[in-house]
Chains A and B, each alone.
Chain A
Amino acid sequence: MNTYYAANLLIFAGVDIIACLALNLQFGVSGVVNFSFIVFQAAGAYAAAVLSMPPDTAPDYSFQIYVGGYQLPFPLPWIGGAIVGGLVALPVGVVVLRRLRADYQAIALLVTSIIANTVINNARPLLNGAAGLALVPQPLDGLVNTSTNSYQYLYIALTAISVAIVWFIAARIVNSPYGRTLRAMRENELAASALGKNSTALKMTIFVVGGAIAGLSGAILVGFLQVWAPSTWLYPETIILFAAVIVGGRGNNVGAILGALLVPVGFEEVTRLLGRMNIGPPNLIPALEWVCIGLLILGFLWFRPKGVVPEQRRVFPGALAVEEETRWVVGKRAR
């Protein structure tokens, strides 16, 4: 039981860290307010599920209807999840990121998230509709016994390796000249394009890279939970990740990781503790938690817009001190 609890906590933490690193690349580093982030996580989860499950004609699986069912061996479903996450990001990016103004991009992505959920919820033959997929095989199922304690540790290790890989990639992106260009676009898109940077292409690449990482996080999650349904990826789930990145400190990876540990993991734990106490009507505590997430976003944007760990100022040695504050989300009072 204790091992299961530890596995639960650590794997959720790992998935949230991966998701927050990806969202930070898009929202924190590049200024793309991706309100449909959870859709790419869901795409990866569905892809990993149908890649690892047997066809829906198999005797134990005949109560659900879904496409695919390829029974691929372990690393392939996770890789497939990442690829599908990136592939789904491509058409969304082409429609949304090309010509629209930044705030319209945000609302278009929010609407995309709500509609994608509605479609998957209503179109049963595709991915079993509202009931979702169940009995998703765990990685290495059949090769090792998945019901032992040591398997839980193995899963934690696999998650940790994924976190390390994603962190490495994110760090490379943030510190590369490409990352510098992304930050330039975030701070002043017009100026960046005037210097010959193609902002649409920059946004597209980071949108697809972030989508792929989000897909990987979904694949890890679905391998552990073994179920996936539209009710697990409603649009407010994206807002939790936004709260995490804002609280942690947008634009830097350490902040994103800290935010993931403070907000989604922290709230998960609080729910678990308060859930035992039976206070008020059954839906009171979860509802109040969502209110708290909203307050957290407003509070941090008001009092500490740069988050707990602010993004470090990057200055060239010998450059004149620049006084103007970062103001792409919250800045100084306009005069």
Chain B
Amino acid sequence: MSLLIAAFGFGLVSMAVIALAAVGFTMQFGITNMINLAYGEVMIASAFFAYYLNQARVSVWIAMLGGAAFGAVFSFLINRFVYAPFQRKGTALLGMVIVSLAVSLMISNAMLPIVGYFSVAYRERFSHLLRFGDIALSVNQIVIIGLAVAVMLAVHALLRYTRLGKAMRATAANPMLARNCGIPANRVIDAVWLITGSICGLAGVVAALDSDSFTIASGATFLITALAAAVLGGAGQPYGAMIGAVIIGLVTELSAAVWAPDYKQVVAFAILVLVMVLRPQGLLAKRGALAAAG
């Protein structure tokens, strides 16, 4: 029993990490209609950017902000110079998936000669443990949970209470109509890429910090968990992604405690398959992944 409670503690941390990654991913898809398969590579690039800052004796928390800024600028540039031109050209959704996969391949291989294959870790990590009954969490992990909660609240506030958030929701619902109502859709989309990019960068650093050591190959893992949470919640739905993250974080950590930790990803994948068979539209969305008719 105490094993399960301890696993629940780790589940809280996983939830936080997955929620950060999934919310950025799902907002990109929901508002700009772009399944960005390069998301995991941008995460890992930001993690490495923060790693180099950290190596230059910058505190890991400030390096985290640096990683977020890097993710924002990087995502913005990818959209400006690759995705947006292809979308303007009238590329179909399927074509965009191929484009983003090509971009993902290019990012990881352009990074490879710079960062190498080795696994690295941030220095100055606080491993001091705090105990709450059977749950033992390090200071790092508690900060990660706090950070995730703060970002979720910020996303909620942004979408609910600001003009920009309202414009984003309008653009997501119907870009043409939003444009005709005088919403500067292009500027809104730029803002979306900057905001989701910074969440993506932050998520990358947090995921790297949480997994002790990371390599360039971690990008694909990050992408799969983010995808699973986003699809489970209903793609394009920020609140759905949060729910998806809670479920996937808990289930993967509990399965790691009672079964084998090697298969965390496989469990996440099994959840994804179940969702696709039983409820392709996800928990919240009305349409989501469901095909049109036929």
Question: Using a CB–CB distance below 8 Å, which chain A residues touch chain B?
Answer: 31, 33, 35, 95-96, 99-104, 106-108, 110-112, 114-115, 118-119, 122, 189-190, 192-194, 199, 235-236, 239, 242, 246, 280-281, 283-284, 287-288, 290-291, 293-295, 297-298, 301-302, 327-334
B116 to chain A: closest residue by CB: A283
Taking A283-B113, A331-B90 as given, write out 5 further A-B residue pairs in contact, using a Cβ cutoff of 8 Å, ordered by the A residue number: A287-B113, A291-B109, A295-B106, A298-B82, A298-B102
> CB within 8 Å of A: which of B236-294?
262-263, 265-266, 269, 272-273, 276-277, 280, 289-294
Question: Using a CB–CB distance below 8 Å, which chain B residues touch chain A?
Answer: 35, 37, 82, 85-86, 88-99, 101-103, 105-106, 108-110, 112-113, 116-117, 220, 224, 227-228, 231, 235, 262-263, 265-266, 269, 272-273, 276-277, 280, 289-294
Residues of B within 8 A of A327 (CB): 90, 92
Residues of B within 8 A of A100 (CB): 276, 280, 289-291
B262 to chain A: closest residue by CB: A122
B260 to chain A: closest residue by CB: A122
One of A95, A239, A281, A330 near B277 (C-beta < 8 A): A95
A12 to chain B, nearest CB (A): 21
Beta-carbon contact of A96 and B276 below 8 Å: yes
B78 to chain A, nearest CB (A): 12
Residues of B within 8 A of A95 (CB): 273, 276-277
Residues of A within 8 A of B35 (CB): 103, 107
A285 to chain B, nearest CB (A): 9
Beta-carbon contact of A333 and B227 below 8 Å: no
- The docked-state distance in angstroms from the alpha carbon of A122 to that of B260 is 11
Beta-carbon contact of A193 and B293 below 8 Å: yes
A305 to chain B: closest residue by CB: B95
Residues of A within 8 A of B224 (CB): 111, 114-115
Residues of A within 8 A of B95 (CB): 301, 328-330
With A110-B37, A190-B294, A291-B106 as given contacts, are A283 and B117 in contact (CB-CB < 8 Å)?
yes
With A111-B227, A328-B94 as given contacts, are A293 and B105 in contact (CB-CB < 8 Å)?
yes
Residues of B within 8 A of A107 (CB): 35, 37, 97, 227
A51 to chain B, nearest CB (A): 27
Beta-carbon contact of B113 and A333 below 8 Å: no
With A31-B94, A330-B92, A332-B90 as given contacts, are A108 and B276 in contact (CB-CB < 8 Å)?
yes
A144 to chain B, nearest CB (A): 42
B207 to chain A, nearest CB (A): 16
Residues of A within 8 A of B293 (CB): 190, 193
B107 to chain A, nearest CB (A): 9
- The docked-state distance in angstroms from the alpha carbon of A276 to that of B12 is 51
| 8 contacts across the A-B interface (CB closer than 8 A) | A99-B276, A190-B294, A193-B294, A242-B98, A287-B109, A287-B112, A298-B99, A333-B88
One of B86, B93, B266, B290 near A99 (C-beta < 8 A): B290
A329 to chain B: closest residue by CB: B95
- The docked-state distance in angstroms from the alpha carbon of A199 to that of B112 is 41
A107 to chain B: closest residue by CB: B35
Residues of B within 8 A of A122 (CB): 262-263
Beta-carbon contact of B292 and A190 below 8 Å: yes
B248 to chain A, nearest CB (A): 13
One of A103, A236, A301 near B105 (C-beta < 8 A): A236
Beta-carbon contact of A101 and B290 below 8 Å: yes
Beta-carbon contact of A33 and B94 below 8 Å: yes
With A100-B291, A101-B290, A298-B99 as given contacts, are A330 and B106 in contact (CB-CB < 8 Å)?
no
With A104-B289, A111-B224, A283-B117 as given contacts, are A33 and B90 in contact (CB-CB < 8 Å)?
no
Residues of A within 8 A of B113 (CB): 280-281, 283-284, 287-288
One of A189, A199, A242, A333 near B89 (C-beta < 8 A): A333
Residues of A within 8 A of B98 (CB): 33, 106, 242, 246, 297, 301, 329
- The docked-state distance in angstroms from the alpha carbon of A295 to that of B103 is 8
With A107-B37, A298-B99, A330-B95 as given contacts, are A118 and B292 in contact (CB-CB < 8 Å)?
no
B79 to chain A, nearest CB (A): 14
B83 to chain A, nearest CB (A): 11
Beta-carbon contact of A104 and B280 below 8 Å: yes
With A242-B98, A330-B95, A333-B90 as given contacts, are A102 and B269 in contact (CB-CB < 8 Å)?
no
Beta-carbon contact of B101 and A119 below 8 Å: no
- The docked-state distance in angstroms from the alpha carbon of A233 to that of B226 is 23
Residues of B within 8 A of A189 (CB): 292, 294
Residues of B within 8 A of A294 (CB): 102-103, 105-106, 109
Q: A-B pairs with the 10 shortest C-beta distances? A: A193-B294, A294-B106, A290-B109, A329-B95, A297-B102, A104-B289, A287-B112, A294-B102, A287-B109, A103-B93
A28 to chain B, nearest CB (A): 12
B225 to chain A, nearest CB (A): 10
With A298-B82, A329-B95, A331-B90 as given contacts, are A287 and B289 in contact (CB-CB < 8 Å)?
no
Residues of A within 8 A of B112 (CB): 283, 287
Beta-carbon contact of B92 and A101 below 8 Å: no
Residues of B within 8 A of A108 (CB): 272, 276
- The docked-state distance in angstroms from the alpha carbon of A101 to that of B94 is 10
A110 to chain B, nearest CB (A): 7
- The docked-state distance in angstroms from the alpha carbon of A328 to that of B97 is 12
Residues of B within 8 A of A280 (CB): 113
Residues of A within 8 A of B228 (CB): 111
